[in-house]
Amino acid sequence: MVEQNWQLVRKQDTLIKRARIIQQIRAFFIERDFLEVETPHRIPANAPELFIDAVASDNWFLQTSPELCMKRLLAAGYPLLFQICRCWREGERSKTHLPEYTMLEWYRSHCDYHQLMDDCEKLLLHLCPDNVLKWQGKSIDLTPPWPRITVAEAFKLFSPISLETVLETDEFDTTIALKIEPRLPQDKPLFLTEYPVKYASLARKKPADPHVAERFELYIGGIEIANAFSELNDPDEQRQRFQLEESQRRAAGKSSYPTPKPFLNELATLPPAAGIALGVDRLIMLLCDKNEIDEVVTFIPEQL
Amino acid sequence: MYNCSDLKKGLKLLIDGEPHVIVNYDFTKPGKGQALYKCKLRNMITGSLFDRTYRSGESFEPASLEERDMQYLYQDDSGHVFMDKKSYEQVILTEETLGDDKYFLIDNMDVEILMYGERAIGISLPNFVNLRVTQSDPWVKGDTAAGNNKPATVETGYTLQVPSFVEEGTLIQIDTRTGSYVTRVKE
């Protein structure tokens, strides 16, 4: 007698909740006149990024994000878009990472990243109508507005090393991950905003302060849930930033990636816009009170 | 050579010429930033524990340790005793050295013992072991919901979550890599 696979049996309640959450996410965007689209998972070129490695598929790649195709649609005049899809990132595995995971992206024309912060607040309230998220013994108050802290303020408040120093010594990521993230307040969700331009390859510079980009990360319960920005729509500047990422990849001994040419060409017709990528599995971890991403997906790679 | 993507719990590395084992491993990656690999390492000779964070791009030398086929005999005051199946030579590993591996040892079990020169410094377990449940609350009649679980303790003192239908005295299979329940074993 072969027994049913217990690791699957015991996930049943969570997987039922997961399906319901995804249906509610769809309903939220459809209600607000967003068009749901599907773009190819397998593409000839992703946006080259120093620290994101794509999974090769024949001579093409699996998408690391649907971003480029979504922006080509925006540039063709589609004003409000969303997509729930699979993304792949080589070598990312932890309690909050799967190398294949589910991403929610949404895009708005004729607005900036502030509107996306409002969207995040409304989406969470839609999914969690009693305004309180209970997660791993913590009680997270979802009542808007959620605190918005700039990266510069976060360094002043929480980092033993100054932002200027870490930018010179290339310790920005390490300091954010090891010094700042663990100290961010967790009683409410939190937006960390205004990233140094160097750390926002596809984001627009802030007109009032061109050293920073109009980018934010959303943290809930100390977990990074979403990354968003006002879209850079200057093809020349975007080409230069891609070239910079590519040269940094080569300098780091990483494989070189092709340039996404149609995207760069069509970027010239992109209206002012903002877009966001949200990790659906992580959001479901929070809503189902689970502390590992493994608990909210049907199969993990180790069980295939 | 290993690179960062090879790092995982249980991997054995040579650091400053001495074998180390990763006892805890965490991957973190801020935003679009650089991946960080947070490891808790144990020096397999001195037993000392320490934390170290690696960044992508670093590489590591594998600790090539000789593995000897041995049999687990018993535990006494000095530790867990194993016997070489060819030479009948006996070696002892302390509870501290074994860590959580001690929960998956059954008398007469075949294991690979890791040797550093003539010294036994660790163990290589099979992926699955069968252990008997010695304590678990009885199945509540009417609890028919699929996927309900409860804690159970097995003969080695290890406690884990099992399906509610697993009763005391049942032989179960455990995955030693994750420490989790796999299935009941037909006897």
Q: Where are the domains of chain B?
A: 2-62, 66-124, 128-184
**Which chain A positions have a beta carbon within 8 Å of B163's beta carbon?**
6, 9-10
Chain A contact for B180 (CB, 8 A cutoff): yes
Q: Is the pLDDT assigned to residue A303 strictly greater than 80?
A: yes
Chain A contact for B32 (CB, 8 A cutoff): yes
Question: Across the interface, do B33 and A176 touch by the CB < 8 Å criterion?
Answer: yes
**Which chain A positions have a beta carbon within 8 Å of B187's beta carbon?**
none
Q: Is the pLDDT assigned to residue B141 strictly greater than 80?
A: no
Residue ranges of B 126-165 with Cβ closer than 8 A to chain A? 146-149, 163
Least confident of A178-187, A257-266, B53-62: B53-62
**In this predicted model, what pLDDT tens digit does every residue of A53-89 receive, in sequence order?**
999 999 999 999 999 999 999 999 999 999 999 999 9
Q: Specify the pLDDT at position B89.
A: 93
DSSP summary character for residue A177: I
Note the residue count of chain B.
187
Q: Specify the pLDDT at position B34.
A: 87
**Which chain B positions have a beta carbon within 8 Å of A181's beta carbon?**
30
Nearest-CA distance from A51 to chain B in Å?
Answer: 5
Strands (E), B9-164: 12-15, 18-28, 36-43, 49-55, 59-62, 66-76, 79-84, 90-93, 110-116, 119-124, 128-136, 149-154, 159-163
Decide if B2-62 and B128-184 have a common fold: no
**In this predicted model, what pLDDT tens digit does every residue of A158-199 receive, in sequence order?**
999 999 999 999 899 889 999 999 999 999 999 999 999 989
Q: Which of A91, A172, A176 sits opposite B5 (nearest CB)?
A: A91
Give the predicted TM-score (pTM) of the model: 0.91
Question: Across the interface, do A174 and B56 touch by the CB < 8 Å criterion?
Answer: no
Question: Going from the N-terminus, what domains does chain A have, and what CATH number goes with each?
Answer: 6-142+235-242+258-303 (3.30.930.10)
**Which chain A positions have a beta carbon within 8 Å of B55's beta carbon?**
174
pLDDT band at A22 (very low <50, low <70, confident <90, very high): very high
**Which chain A positions have a beta carbon within 8 Å of B183's beta carbon?**
2-3, 6
Average pLDDT over residues A20-25: 98
pLDDT band at A272 (very low <50, low <70, confident <90, very high): very high
Chain A contact for B10 (CB, 8 A cutoff): no
Question: Across the interface, do B33 and A199 touch by the CB < 8 Å criterion?
Answer: yes
Q: Is the pLDDT assigned to residue A267 strictly greater than 80?
A: yes
Query: A27 CB contacts (<8 Å, ≥6 apart)?
Result: none
User: Cα(B162)–Cα(B160) distance, rounded to whole angstroms?
Assistant: 6
**What SS3 class is residue A207?**
coil
CB pairs under 8 A between A and B: 78
Q: Is the pLDDT assigned to residue B145 strictly greater than 70?
A: no
**Which chain A positions have a beta carbon within 8 Å of B186's beta carbon?**
1
Residue ranges of A 19-58 with Cβ closer than 8 A to chain B? 49-52
Say which CATH class B66-124 falls into: mainly beta
Work out the mean pLDDT of chain A and round it to a whole number. Answer: 95
Question: Across the interface, do A51 and B182 touch by the CB < 8 Å criterion?
Answer: no
Nearest-CA distance from A178 to chain B in Å?
Answer: 9
User: Cα(A223)–Cα(A76) distance, rounded to whole angstroms?
Assistant: 35
**Which chain A positions have a beta carbon within 8 Å of B33's beta carbon?**
51, 172-173, 176-177, 199
Per-residue burial over A164-198, b if 16 or more Cβ lie within 10 Å, else e, is eebbeeebbbbbbbbbbbeebebebbbbbbbbbbb
Chain A contact for B187 (CB, 8 A cutoff): no
- CATH code linked to domain B2-62: 2.30.30.30
Chain B contact for A174 (CB, 8 A cutoff): yes
Average pLDDT over residues B100-105: 92
Q: Specify the pLDDT at position A48.
A: 94
- CATH code linked to domain B128-184: 2.40.50.140
pLDDT band at A43 (very low <50, low <70, confident <90, very high): very high
Nearest-CA distance from A15 to chain B in Å?
Answer: 11
Q: Is the pLDDT assigned to residue A105 strictly greater than 90?
A: yes
User: Cα(B29)–Cα(A101) distance, rounded to whole angstroms?
Assistant: 15
CA angle, corner A46, sides to A151 and A73, nearest 5? Answer: 90
> Residue B70: beta bridge partners?
B84, B111
Q: Is the pLDDT assigned to residue B84 strictly greater than 80?
A: yes
Chain B contact for A70 (CB, 8 A cutoff): no
Q: Specify the pLDDT at position B146.
A: 58
In contact, B80 and B120? CB cutoff 8 Å: no
Chain A contact for B5 (CB, 8 A cutoff): yes
- The phi, psi pair for A107, rounded to 5°, reads -135, 140
Question: Across the interface, do B35 and A201 touch by the CB < 8 Å criterion?
Answer: no
Q: Is the pLDDT assigned to residue A121 strictly greater than 90?
A: yes
Chain B contact for A59 (CB, 8 A cutoff): no
Q: Which of A13, A95, A173 sits opposite B30 (nearest CB)?
A: A173
Question: Across the interface, do B28 and A49 touch by the CB < 8 Å criterion?
Answer: no
**Which chain A positions have a beta carbon within 8 Å of B176's beta carbon?**
none
Q: Is the pLDDT assigned to residue A298 strictly greater than 80?
A: yes
User: Cα(B103)–Cα(B156) distance, rounded to whole angstroms?
Assistant: 5
Work out the mean pLDDT of chain B and round it to a whole number. Answer: 90
